[in-house]
Amino acid sequence: MTQSAIITVMERACRKAAPRLRRDFNEVAQLQVSKKGPADFVSQADKAAERTLLEELQRARPGWGFLLEEGGEIAGEEENSPRFIIDPLDGTSNFLHGIPHFAISIGVEHLGTIVAGMIYQPLTDESFWAERGRGAWLQNARLRVSGRRDMDEALLATGIPYKGHGKQDEFEKILSHVIPEVAGVRRFGAASLDLAWVAAGRFDGFWEQGLEPWDVAAGILIVREAGGFVSDFRGGEKMIERREIVAANDQLHSKLHRIVAGALR
């Protein structure tokens, strides 16, 4: 599959930011033993990656808008200009603790619809990407969601609420309903990669609450273009507005959605 111009632009930006993230990740492992701790260092790594992405994308697409995790919103030159939705370091807590599982996530939104997305894992050099109507890809290999049909064979991913974030009581209700039905549940700490892995068939499904637009924008499109289904907890399209998401292969989405919705009744 030949990449389009916008996918090439996004991948080039990711690859420009990645070496600094890799270098900083190696440094943060050393900082773990210091009394000061690595939190400030990681914050700087996050911001440096975002600056690099912003500079590269602005150079390639002047006039487009941005929604940035660190830098907030930058309006496009025109009312209907496309905009990039960027998380420069999804999996910050993993990064902070020297756990090699984090990603750069970039979505392109135009007229309220996500039309392109890329999730790039700097340490494995994996580039998950999709364009609306053109399928989902890992590098140049086509992505397809898994073919599992039964919940008792399904491996799911989720995110666990933590201090100051998420609804602990609702999560516990959902988890207590999901666990007896499935082969396993994983929490790896980077929602963008969870969605990319659903698209790649590594996970059969994913659910989480409290996510930001930059966590899921690219992943929603990649899962759908890989043949999967994505909805909010009510089965609708308000994943970003409601900050809740259920994603799974085409065989299991309705089953997972029913379990999640039923747990919250």
Q: Tell me the pLDDT of the chain averaged across its residues.
A: 93
- Reply yes or no on whether the pLDDT at 16 is more than 90: yes
User: Quick one: pLDDT band at residue 37, thresholds 50, 70, 90?
Assistant: low
Residue range 47-88, pLDDT digits in tens: 999 999 999 999 999 999 999 988 899 999 998 999 999 999
Which tens digits make up the pLDDT trace of 240-261? Answer: 999 999 999 999 999 999 999 9
Q: What CATH code is assigned to 5-142?
A: 3.30.540.10
Distance, CA of 205 to CA of 81 (rounded, Å): 33
The packing angle between helices 5-31 and 39-60, to 10°, is 160
Convert the pLDDT of each residue in 147-187 to its tens digit: 999 999 999 999 998 877 778 999 999 999 999 999 999 99
pLDDT digits 0-9 by tens, 79-133: 899 999 999 999 988 988 889 999 999 999 999 999 999 999 999 999 999 999 9
Per-residue pLDDT at 33: 47
- Stated pTM of the model: 0.94
Q: Where are the domains of the chain?
A: 5-142, 151-263
- What φ, ψ does residue 73 adopt, rounded to 5°? -100, 135
Note the CATH number of domain 151-263: 3.40.190.80
| Model confidence at 31: pLDDT above 70 | no
Spatial distance between the Cα atoms of 23 and 53, rounded to a whole number of angstroms: 16
